[in-house]
Amino acid sequence: MELKEIAYINTGFTQKFGIPRQSGLVSEIGRIVFEPEYRNPTFIEGITDYDYLWLLWGFSKNKPLEGGTVRPPRLGGEKHMGVFATRAPFRPNNIGLSSVKLVEVEQDSNLGPVIYVSGVDMLDGTPIYDIKPYIPYADAHPEARGGFTDSLSKENQVDVEFSDELIEKLPENIRQAAVELLQQDPRAAYDRKKEREFRVMFHNYDIAFVGKDNKLIVTDVLKPSL
């Protein structure tokens, strides 16, 4: 079966380090632009009746999977688990699945209908293969077990120290998402005891931080060069 790219998404994530490990964790806005043959508004007729969408997309920067197991970073990168028991990006078929919030649909004179969604966890320029509506009665299972993530979901968020002087270097519309990104702690578990500076790119801003106890301290924000 040949997958056809129907659209691509623009996001503020220009490198893999720092991208949220799941959708919905960071309120980053993504812009979905359709390929020319799918720009007829009939393709999305009725889509604004839904609050959330499922996006099926491609891991465009991954290496091929080797073997049947992966080492989830949240488990310290030491424990092996079957690839189908994780959401690791390295898979037999490089297909991702994200649940995102529909923000608005805009009609562009050149690009046709453009969809804005929040909670994205995709690299800028990621290809989109399909869009489906999120249906609460069928898709939501709040009582379901979450495997090893049940013990991690609440532990992973860290405090962030981001001084007014530094956060004001970011455009106002991305400040909240930048803090949320850091609260998820982009470092792998095996990096958390390393006393060194880390840097994450967000909307082309270079954000430097160090870890101390259960806190990330932002040390510098460099603006994009013109």
pLDDT tens by residue, 138-149: 999 989 998 877
Structure tokens at 95: 């297909």
| pLDDT at site 226 | 60
The mean pLDDT of 97-114, rounded to a whole number, is: 97
The mean pLDDT of 160-169, rounded to a whole number, is: 96
CA dist., res. 124 & res. 13, Å (int): 6
C-beta of residue 110 within 8 angstroms of C-beta of residue 22? no
C-beta of residue 123 within 8 angstroms of C-beta of residue 11? yes
The mean pLDDT of 121-126, rounded to a whole number, is: 96
Q: Which of 32-36, 63-67, 90-94 has the lowest mean pLDDT?
A: 63-67
The mean pLDDT of 158-166, rounded to a whole number, is: 95
SS3 of the chain = CCCCCCEEEECCCCCCCCCCCCCCCCCCEEEEEECHHHCCHHHHCCHHHCCEEEEEEECCCCCCCCCCEECCHHHCCCCCEEHHHCCCCCCCCCEEEEEEEEEEEEEECCCEEEEEEECCCCCCCEEEEEEEECCHHHHCCCCCCCHHHHHCCCCCCCEEECCHHHHCCCCHHHHHHHHHHHHCCCCCHHHCCCCCCEEEEECCEEEEEEEECCEEEEEEEECCCC
Residue 155, pLDDT above cutoff 60: no
The answer to whether the pTM exceeds 0.85 is yes
* Percent above pLDDT 90 for the chain: 65
**CATH assignment of 153-222?**
3.30.2310.20
**Numbered ranges of CATH 3.30.2310.20 in the chain:** 153-222
CA dist., res. 202 & res. 86, Å (int): 26
Q: Could you say which of 2.60.40.1760, 3.40.50.2020, 2.40.30.70, 3.60.15.10 is the CATH number of the domain covering 7-59+94-139?
A: 2.40.30.70
**Numbered ranges of CATH 2.40.30.70 in the chain:** 7-59+94-139
What does DSSP assign to residue 162? -
Cα of 51 vs its chain's centroid, Å: 18
| pLDDT at site 121 | 96
